[in-house]
A = this chain, B = another copy of it.
């Protein structure tokens, strides 16, 4: 029997409590021992809820109880989650979390405290919800040198882009409003649509893959706020999908990372990942291509990942589990300036001559097949480096929109 405390009885916390109870027999079998929830910490009361009998308002009850070997931190936010996690690890308690903000911001420090205290800090649910991508990297694809990891790591933005594709002409703001009404987007949607959330997740995943801490603030990050119905119409006409990809890749110059909307071709394994689903593409030097797909969010899928961490913590009671994110130094990302891509560029019809001079496109897209778009034309650039493209855009001046081809 191993005793657990859950910090926070919100969406994920109640899911964790639910999974541990509903699948209790299976969980015991797989953990090799019974797992009992001794405390649930929350500031609120839950009269009539079965959690009532283990509810506490005092973190000190938990930290001072030597019987508690595993703490589930599902409070979200940086404070007091950071302080609580730190104290638990220092007291020799394993911590399992879904808190991607905290892992992305303080993971390096918390991992190092866990190492010093011979306990585990697990965070499977911080990336890709229910997709077991972190355990896949640490425990499954262990024979491979992984040189690329690229994912659709945010369900909200993937839902919005999918809706805009399936309902041609509908605007970004209209779909966002609908997503907010359905509970697929937050009232303050910035973390999702400005792509800070997938940036944090690819920072965590690439820290595991490449061994040293990647700071999400160093990653080039562009959201989907500027994507219009017209951009989507062009993409569909070309047979491409617009996807918000989060990518980290080892190159000759070092590790490069990107979070941005891309035009993705049908043969790419992430092309068909639609709606709120998440997926992670991994390339290994022996394995080749592998893709892991599943629900990227939601109470129960996220709780499923947290409970898998709890089971692994029970299996490793007293022992450290392997984690690829093992070096204390920070990984300095290589510049993206020399990365070459093609771009889809929309401009005003009157600028056609200038566009020919500046961008030398092979020609302009057939606007008839795209449908009538007044006063504008579009073209695909030759392969250009980020730097070259950015210089050309500056000298050109009046671009309506541009999207990278993946």
Contacts and interface: CB of A to CB of B under 8 A. Distances in A.
Contact of A304 (B26, B287, B303): B287
Contacts of A298: 288
Contacts of A308: 140-143
A320 to B, nearest CB: 10
Interface string A295-326: 10010110111111011100100000010000
Residue of A15, A286, A289 most packed against chain B (CB within 10 A): A286
A292 interface: yes
A23 interface: yes
Contact of A140 (B23, B135, B143): B135
A13 interface: no
A272 interface: yes
B140 A140 contact: yes
Contact of A287 (B26, B284, B287, B294): B294
A277 B312 CA distance: 30
Contact of A294 (B19, B23, B290): B290
A32 interface: yes
Contact of A27 (B143, B284, B288, B292): B143
A399 interface: no
A289 B295 contact: yes
Interface string A1-45: 000000000000001000100110011001110000000000000
Contact of A30 (B132, B142, B305, B306): B142
B23 A145 contact: yes
Given A308-B140, A308-B142, A290 B288 contact: no
Contact of A143 (B19, B32, B277): B19
Residue of A135, A139, A300, A311 most packed against chain B (CB within 10 A): A139
A291 B277 CA distance: 11
Contacts of A291: 291-294
B303 A286 contact: yes
Given A287-B295, A291-B293, A322-B32, A136 B145 contact: no
A33 to B, nearest CB: 12
A130 interface: yes
A246 interface: no
Contact of A301 (B30, B32, B286, B305): B286
Nearest to A291: B293
A285 B21 CA distance: 13
Contacts of A305: 143
Interface in A253-302: 269, 272, 277, 284-295, 298, 300-301
A204 interface: no
A99 B272 CA distance: 33
Sort A-B residue pairs by CB-CB distance and give the 10 closest, nearest first. Answer: A143-B307, A132-B140, A290-B294, A286-B304, A291-B293, A30-B142, A130-B287, A287-B304, A135-B140, A286-B300
Given A142-B307, A288-B301, 13 more contacts: A23-B144, A23-B285, A23-B286, A27-B142, A27-B143, A136-B136, A141-B304, A143-B308, A144-B304, A269-B293, A288-B298, A291-B292, A293-B293
6 contacts: A27-B142, A135-B139, A136-B140, A141-B308, A288-B298, A289-B294
